A and B are shown apart, each in its own frame.
Chain A
């Protein structure tokens, strides 16, 4: 237990030293944070617009058995196996939620609760039976450790090293998400907004839904090592809802993701340097703080604007009654 919650703030040691003394690992941690936020924010916009934020939460937990089983089969942290395991678990989660919702009297929110806790528990059981002595500890799964990312083995493509493999993977997944969203933008937009119209236009509604869920699962599994399955949910939801206080159109909401991702990753890293705490945790604290600022000051439904609007509205009504009398 340390004595003070807020250590004395020293500009040099918080902002300058990490970049001067160990540029490479500082850069890699911030870059990883940026990729995580970017990928999650892009996919998260569609997840939030479809009102599937809870499903995102569910998938993030249900990935555990997928990852654990992949681990058992390959007995290593083999990347392809983990990605396949995650994709299978992600699809299984959405299929099970819909199946329970449709074929029983259980309500959708309860169905989500049933599915993800059960799958998560299966993951915990598998880990405790077979993987007790392997390095896949629960803390890392839950909170992630982005600070250790620079220590991971490098990803080698041909002769070139692309840096630590989690960063290379996360970057690739972020790029994939962005490309998919650009290429399938119309299908995603129409199937998210109006399923009836989408079907009447002959759009593949179910394929779009499961495609989005697979992309979500891949994004989460690539990110979970850095930020854990709990905090990754914050990265899915925060960018969409924060920008939503300023803009109300999907393309603009998406453009808001990169700058926010920069703010989360830089802000989180330096906050963690100052407080000497978990970097992933600090990133989410920054995200939460920026959300509160947006909620207060945002012109679209922000509290400050609502107050000024309602007071000017009262003024209008007063003037109308004056005219009337």
Chain B
């Protein structure tokens, strides 16, 4: 079998802001077709990890490879969904304009947007049920609709690896369901997804793999191996007691498995 480089490989990554360390010695290899949830407490460096992967933040040490190449050479293979609050929603652009920005990586800096680009953007809006809003100014949208626009833009990038920063933050239930379906669909099509997520209680049903982060990499692996009281405690420290239902959820599941084991 030919050795295909993994979508994402991170080696000994260390990042600090103004000499304050944010990430230390992170080592991960993410396999093709993974749907990974990145969880950890506030200030654990989740967004920093995403930004470092995309070359937005420069690491102090270590390296990131995307499909075996440095980020610069793999730009068109990576789709990005930034945090919704990171942009000014009063900016004078329409929904369609924003989705078309997803095509700029393919079109190059100078070439004009082609008919095909518009068609793809339009299809992507259709997928998130935002086609009727194409001509709207983005400021008139609800939080969930704004997030759908960002997802449509990421879809329009037609990438193989998607990095999403808190796509579930502040969206309505219908949008949440739509996003989960979209993530599943992308995974089915062999895409790799790395999603920063703030809500531990829903992480288990949304993702297949977890990346537990608290400045260091606590654990990375399949949900069964990583969603354990031990590792979650290690990630969140004492703060997990606040999320006692989540702890119970994790503990209850492992008890259940232990009970179930002898029968097998």
Contacts and interface: CB of A to CB of B under 8 A. Distances in A.
- 5 tightest CB-CB pairs across the interface, nearest first? A248-B137, A196-B82, A200-B80, A199-B56, A200-B54
Which DSSP category, helix, strand, loop or mixed, fits chain B's interface? mixed
A196 B109 contact: no
Interface centre among A184, A195, A201, A300 (most CB of B within 10 A): A201
Contacts, number: 69
Interface of B: 51, 54-56, 72, 75, 78, 80, 82, 86-88, 91-94, 97-98, 101, 104-105, 109-110, 137, 139, 153
A197 B109 contact: no
Which DSSP category, helix, strand, loop or mixed, fits chain A's interface? helix
Contacts of A189: 93, 97, 101
8 contacts: A49-B91, A190-B101, A193-B87, A194-B87, A195-B86, A197-B80, A248-B137, A249-B94
Interface centre among B80, B82, B92, B93 (most CB of A within 10 A): B92
B82 A202 contact: no
B101 A200 contact: no
Contacts of B87: 193-194, 196
B67 to A, nearest CB: 15
A203 B109 contact: yes
B82 A197 contact: yes
Interface in A39-61: 49, 51
A196 B86 contact: yes
Interface residues of A, number: 26
Interface string A88-100: 0000000000000
A187 interface: yes
A242 B86 CA distance: 26
B72 to A, nearest CB: 6
Contact of A196 (B80, B98, B104, B105): B80
A244 interface: yes
A235 to B, nearest CB: 19
Nearest to A243: B92
A192 interface: yes
Nearest to A204: B109
Contact of A201 (B98, B105, B139): B105
Nearest to B79: A200
A156 interface: no
A72 interface: no
A247 B136 CA distance: 11
B242 to A, nearest CB: 30
Interface in A176-219: 183-184, 186-187, 189-190, 192-197, 199-203
Contact of A194 (B51, B101, B109, B137): B101
A199 B51 CA distance: 9
A259 B235 CA distance: 60
B76 to A, nearest CB: 9
B192 to A, nearest CB: 16
Contacts of A202: 55, 72, 75, 105
Contacts of A183: 110
B93 A249 contact: yes
Contacts of A300: 137
A244 B82 contact: no
Contacts of A197: 80, 82, 101, 153
A250 interface: yes
Given A189-B101, A197-B101, A49 B92 contact: yes
Contact of B104 (A186, A247, A248): A186
Contacts of B153: 197
A249 B91 contact: no
A119 interface: no
B104 A199 contact: no
A184 B109 CA distance: 8
A248 B94 contact: yes
B92 A199 contact: no
Nearest to B83: A196
B88 A51 contact: yes
A193 B99 CA distance: 12
Nearest to B72: A202
B56 A200 contact: yes
Given A193-B91, A194-B87, A199 B54 contact: yes
B75 A201 contact: yes
A192 B93 CA distance: 11
Nearest to B153: A197
A309 to B, nearest CB: 12
A110 B51 CA distance: 29
B109 A249 contact: no
Given A186-B109, A192-B91, A249 B97 contact: yes
Contacts of B72: 202
A194 B105 contact: no
A280 interface: no
Given A194-B101, A247-B92, 18 more contacts: A51-B88, A184-B109, A186-B104, A187-B109, A189-B101, A192-B91, A193-B87, A194-B86, A197-B82, A200-B78, A200-B80, A201-B75, A202-B55, A202-B105, A248-B92, A250-B92, A250-B93, A250-B97
Contacts of A184: 109
A115 to B, nearest CB: 22
Nearest to B98: A193
A244 B92 contact: yes
